[in-house]
Structure 1
Amino acid sequence: MNTLVSGLPILLLIWAMTKRNAVPSHIALPATAIMVALIQLFLFDADVQLLSANVVAGVLSVLTPISIVAGAILLNRMLFFSGAEAILSQWLKSISGNKVAQLMIIGWAFAFMIEGASGFGTPAAIAAPILVGLGFPAIPVAIFALVMNSVPVSFGAVGTPIWFGLSALPLTEVQLIAISKQTALLNSIAALIIPFIALRFLLSWQEIRQNAFFIVLSVLSCTVPYVLFAQWNYEFPSLIGGAIGLAFSVFFAKKGLGLSAQVGAAEAVKLVTFRDVVKVFLPFALLILILIVTRIPQWGVKDLLNTLSPLFSFQFGETAFAVSKALVLSINGILGTEVNWQYKSLYVPAIIPFLIVSLICIPLFGMSRHLVANSFRDTGKRLLLPILSLIGALVMVKLMMQGGDSAPMLLLAQAFANLLGDYWGYAAALLGGLGSFFSGSATVSNITFGGIQLGIAEEVGLPVTLVLALQSAGAAMGNMVCINNIIAVSTILGIKNQEGFIIKRTIIPMLFYALVAAMFAAVSLYW
């Protein structure tokens, strides 16, 4: 009974957001959070003080995703109002007037590289506005960007979902590399299918078939180095794979290799100078460079931005407030409980690099005060309703995870495991996807369900590294239906009240991805 009731809010949420007259996420998500709170109180006899502390922590946690979204929107608005986005669009058309080439270069290879450097939903936030600037419609672009931002996610943000997401588990370095190898191979097999499905949201099957060879070349340009790097490293597969894939995809597009003939590209070439192209790409180059420098542990900058060495602190009752020298904001013992909250001001990619790069755009493009004011004003207008949606989502997650071994989320996971037993390999990826759907992060999905996956694997006698690879790949595919990411990309593109519509579309390629994962498990385990 507890398990059935635990799943009820999620079923109602999905129904409310995907029915014909869909309930907007800024209403549906807070309502679901209230329902979970009531279930915790009256069914699970939750401690009121702990429940209140988790609500406070959930509300505070919105600062992380909303600041990232705000930074991404601001950069996009700077590029838009300065005219840089129009120049970028012209340059892409000068490479090829072919729509498939444009979509694969920006939506696949460029986003692949950005994911490897940053994560946090940044690729869709950057790639989607560029594609809209090229003339593609906003809602299909949002769906396309979400679906494409899946394969590289397992190694996003310099491998954070692996080296940090699985850090709490008793795994050796050899086991982590084995997980890395199998994850990369599984994701690369899925990559032979997912881009074709994603492109269908924007193009006809005829256009896709006519350019299928280029699509395969672009995919392999990213995934071959991706798989090779994963044989010995779990930090750089997506970053290196994306960089190499971007270079080759541009080269193939210029040569027209695998592309159907298009008319009109020559005219666009005359409009864009090499100097203009360099200037327009400078913000993106700085963005990637700063992200790399701040996320490679060996270079020391990451530690500086995450230091908890206190700048000042104070106590209010049983709750401790602190600010570190790296401006990490911490609240420990919220309402006298063990619930804590933290915001890494300089490490979360909001101020560094988004705000910094956005401010650099002002002198770089010679923007007037009026244009700068418009950029900030437009950014602010887009954030109000997403804040409400994200508060609902994050409070819901916090409450679903409250209760230790009897937490509603863990009860759902255990129910799946008990149902399948020895055949757990078929569904392991779906649990990873469920974690991303809830939390908005492949890293958090791995943290939340990695231990459960490990326990199930040991209990039923499945290879631990394979099951955790399925978890990792599942967490990546869950990005397609992740509520946080859908809200973020919709906000950036100015799309309102279409979250349910988008989920109904993105769940289809996610299920195809899950099918690939199940077949991969079947071949590895049962054949």
Structure 2
Amino acid sequence: MYQQIYDPVGGSLLLSSALAALPLLTMFVMLGWLRVAPHIAAFVSLAICVLVAVFAYRMPWATTLNVGLYGAAFSVLTVLWIIVNAIWLYNLTVQSGHFAVLKDSFARISPDPRIQSIIIAYNFGALIEALAGAGTPIAISGAMLLAIGIKPMKAAVLALVANTAPVAFGALAVPIVTLAQVSGEPFGLLGAIVGRQTPILAAFVPLILVGLLDGRRGIRQTWPAAVVAGLAFGAAQWIAANHISVELADVFGALGSAGALMLFLRVWQPVQPGRIEDVEPSQLAVARHDARAVWIAYAPYILIIAIFSLAQIKGVQQWLSAGTLRFPWPGVDIVNAAGKPVSSVFTLNSLSATGTLLFVAGLLSAMLLRVRPAAAVRTYGATLRQLRWAIPTVLCVLALAFVMNYSGQTITLGRWMAQTGPAFAFLSPVIGWIGVAVTGSDNSSNALFGALQVAAANETGIRPALLAAANASGGVLGKMISPQSLAVGAAAVGIIGQEGAIFRKVIGWSLLLLLALSTLVYLQAGPLAWMLP
């Protein structure tokens, strides 16, 4: 049995943290500056993580490798099964010709691709995040942006940046549920505090999107629509999280923003921009389609919403849970520094998994789109070939995350930051950001650091619920730089191997928004405490 240690150097948490950070620093440097292929960067980072676990944290070789295998196996249902089926569904719509109809329907709302990017990446992406989460909105909205003529690199960047504010409430607020379980703070209180942090970020995201697509001209010409979309999303998310339903905060935000934007566009349209560098001019022509063709084009996405909504009904949940197996991962016998067992339960939720529900949506979509079974199977095979380099990247990243977590490396980083006293309120979101950057999941980050945030709050005199909520809010900004998310975004737009280039384009926005959120949380711990419930 392995007992975790959090200060392997002994007496120097700073040096121990430097060791613990080596795998992450290696990955970010290789992706962002050395421009190494992502699957190679992930493998090298995993190798360094294993060496740190074995030689610094004194984790046995067999346990370390087994934990890495556990993480890789965990990624199959939680990440890969989702990515493959989400992109397969998109490829089916392209092959059938209905995605062109969908593209033209967006153009009828507004012919401006900058406005369309808000509707697709921000509004529709948030709705998919509300129901499915786990990278699905990045895959689907990235592919949809590509279909309206936005060039692949820019489509991936827009999809990643847009997938920020809704993440904390994703999959019907599962990250908040997990946070409440591990922190001991009330679910409603945590949801309300997160609902007074992320909506402020959400208000600015549409402006960032149009700026990314068309620079200063884009902001100057479209700011009224971007402000309406952002403020409506933030206000609806705020109201829902505090007064209606934490679980439905993203649904209200997405639909409220889309509705307000469409009403606003009835009385105002931006100046036509002319040539936009990252938009293919040939894609801007709008064809007319009858109502039936438009409904069929939207059918796959309506099916996704309907299937995931049905899956939340208690009776359906019970039926789907019949296919779930839970068992301790063999050979992973680990206790924390206090001697308490660390959970190593592997959940094989074959029926209720997000990827399975997407697969069902794909099967039904193929029938609605009249794609022959043989063609659907060939498309699935082509999707797997399309993802041939994304798959090993995800496997290595999840293996790295599990080795870091189970050896104690991640806790070392969190404890080092917690030594800053009252200033920890500023760093609290950074811990959530690191957690999502490593694991790719706000839910996993909350499970990992929720209790640590509360413990640090009790030591520093800061309100525990605030720091716990800050972990979830900070995590949303780590989503866009997570290697998993980068792999999903690159795969969705067909530029696998360019994850490093995407990383370089989004890291600045991730850090800037993190700085803004950290400042807000620091002020909420002091002069802005009146903002909290």
TM-score, reference length from structure 2: 0.88
- CA-atom RMSD, angstroms? 2.1
Confirm whether residue 179 of structure 1 aligns to residue 190 of structure 2.
yes
What is the Cα deviation at residue 250 of structure 1?
Answer: 2.9
Q: Which residue of 1 aligns with 2:160?
A: 146
Q: Is the contact between residue 104 and residue 287 of structure 2 (CA under 8 Å) also seen in structure 1? A: no
Q: Which residue of 1 aligns with 2:412?
A: 411
CA distance in 1, matches of 2:132, 2:108: 28
CA distance in 2, matches of 1:197, 1:349: 29
Shift of the 164–292 alpha-carbon distance from structure 1 to 2, 3 Å rule, reads farther
Q: Which residue of 2 aligns with 1:98?
A: 112
Structure 1: which amino acid aligns with 2:521?
A
What is the Cα deviation at residue 370 of structure 1?
Answer: 5.9
Q: Encode CA deviations 1:165-215: one digit per residue, 9 max, x unaligned.
A: 33122223xxx3232222122111112323322332221211221110011
Correspondence for 1:241 among 250, 253, 273: 253
Q: Is the contact between residue 125 and residue 488 of structure 1 (CA under 8 Å) also seen in structure 2? A: yes
- 1:281-292 matches, cutoff 5 A: 281-292=298-309
SS of the counterpart of 1:477? coil
Structure 1 runs of 4+ aligned residues shifted over 4 Å read 261-264, 267-270
What is the Cα deviation at residue 58 of structure 1?
Answer: 1.6
Unaligned ranges ≥5, structure 2: 1-14, 275-280, 335-343, 528-533
Q: Which residue of 1 aligns with 2:433?
A: 433
CA distance in 1, matches of 2:302, 2:37: 36
Correspondence for 2:70 among 31, 40, 57: 57
CA distance in 1, matches of 2:287, 2:213: 28
CA distance in 2, matches of 1:13, 1:244: 38
Q: Which residue of 2 aligns with 1:451?
A: 451
What is the Cα deviation at residue 333 of structure 1?
Answer: 4.1
Confirm whether residue 382 of structure 1 aligns to residue 386 of structure 2.
yes
69-78 or 497-506, which deviates more? 497-506
CA distance in 2, matches of 1:41, 1:515: 34
Q: Which residue of 1 aligns with 2:370?
A: 366
Q: Encode CA deviations 1:7-29: one digit per residue, 9 max, x unaligned.
A: 1222122111111x411111111
Unaligned ranges ≥5, structure 1: 307-324
Q: Which residue of 2 aligns with 1:304?
A: 319
Q: Encode CA deviations 1:120-176: one digit per residue, 9 max, x unaligned.
A: 11111111111100000111111111111010111110010101233122223xxx3
Aligned residue pairs, count: 495
What is the Cα deviation at residue 361 of structure 1?
Answer: 2.4
486-495 or 149-158, which deviates more? 486-495
CA distance in 1, matches of 2:380, 2:59: 43
Q: Which residue of 2 aligns with 1:312?
A: none
Confirm whether residue 497 of structure 1 aligns to residue 497 of structure 2.
yes
CA distance in 2, matches of 1:225, 1:16: 40
SS of the counterpart of 1:343? strand
Q: Which residue of 1 aligns with 2:516?
A: 516
CA distance in 1, matches of 2:95, 2:436: 34
What is the Cα deviation at residue 292 of structure 1?
Answer: 1.6
What is the Cα deviation at residue 256 of structure 1?
Answer: 4.9
What is the Cα deviation at residue 336 of structure 1?
Answer: 6.5
SS of the counterpart of 1:409? helix
Structure 1: which amino acid aligns with 2:119?
I
Q: Is the contact between residue 213 and residue 258 of structure 1 (CA under 8 Å) also seen in structure 2? A: no
Q: Which residue of 1 aligns with 2:531?
A: none
Q: Is the contact between residue 77 and residue 378 of structure 1 (CA under 8 Å) also seen in structure 2? A: no
CA distance in 1, matches of 2:31, 2:361: 36
Structure 2: which amino acid aligns with 1:288?
I
Shift of the 269–44 alpha-carbon distance from structure 1 to 2, 3 Å rule, reads closer
Q: Which residue of 2 aligns with 1:342?
A: 347
CA distance in 2, matches of 1:38, 1:523: 40
SS of the counterpart of 1:234? coil
Structure 2: which amino acid aligns with 1:275?
R
Q: Which residue of 1 aligns with 2:405?
A: 401
Q: Which residue of 2 aligns with 1:218?
A: 229
What is the Cα deviation at residue 99 of structure 1?
Answer: 1.6
Confirm whether residue 227 of structure 1 aligns to residue 228 of structure 2.
no
39-48 or 447-456, which deviates more? 39-48
What is the Cα deviation at residue 329 of structure 1?
Answer: 4.3
Structure 1: which amino acid aligns with 2:226?
I
Q: Is the contact between residue 53 and residue 337 of structure 1 (CA under 8 Å) also seen in structure 2? A: no
Q: Encode CA deviations 1:383-437: one digit per residue, 9 max, x unaligned.
A: 221121111101111110123xxx111111111111x211111111111010000
- 1:46-195 matches, cutoff 5 A: 46-64=59-77, 65-172=79-186, 176-195=187-206
Q: Is the contact between residue 94 and residue 268 of structure 1 (CA under 8 Å) also seen in structure 2? A: no
What is the Cα deviation at residue 460 of structure 1?
Answer: 0.2
Q: Which residue of 1 aligns with 2:338?
A: none
Shift of the 276–248 alpha-carbon distance from structure 1 to 2, 3 Å rule, reads farther
CA distance in 2, matches of 1:190, 1:345: 35
What is the Cα deviation at residue 220 of structure 1?
Answer: 2.2
- 1:242-281 matches, cutoff 5 A: 242-253=254-265, 255-257=266-268, 259-261=270-272, 271-281=288-298
SS of the counterpart of 1:150? coil
CA distance in 2, matches of 1:425, 1:47: 36
What is the Cα deviation at residue 52 of structure 1?
Answer: 2.9
Percent of aligned positions that are identical: 22
Q: Is the contact between residue 126 and residue 250 of structure 2 (CA under 8 Å) also seen in structure 1? A: yes
Structure 2: which amino acid aligns with 1:409?
T
Q: Is the contact between residue 439 and residue 445 of structure 1 (CA under 8 Å) also seen in structure 2? A: yes
What is the Cα deviation at residue 235 of structure 1?
Answer: 0.6
Q: Is the contact between residue 185 and residue 465 of structure 2 (CA under 8 Å) also seen in structure 1? A: no
Shift of the 356–460 alpha-carbon distance from structure 1 to 2, 3 Å rule, reads same
Q: Which residue of 2 aligns with 1:45?
A: 58
What is the Cα deviation at residue 222 of structure 1?
Answer: 2.0
What is the Cα deviation at residue 30 of structure 1?
Answer: 1.5
SS of the counterpart of 1:62? helix
CA distance in 2, matches of 1:206, 1:430: 33
What is the Cα deviation at residue 240 of structure 1?
Answer: 2.1
Q: Encode CA deviations 1:274-318: one digit per residue, 9 max, x unaligned.
A: 11111111211110111122135xx33223323xxxxxxxxxxxx
Confirm whether residue 293 of structure 1 aligns to residue 310 of structure 2.
yes
What is the Cα deviation at residue 369 of structure 1?
Answer: 5.2
Q: Is the contact between residue 183 and residue 468 of structure 2 (CA under 8 Å) also seen in structure 1? A: no
240-249 or 83-92, which deviates more? 240-249
Q: Is the contact between residue 160 and residue 443 of structure 1 (CA under 8 Å) also seen in structure 2? A: yes
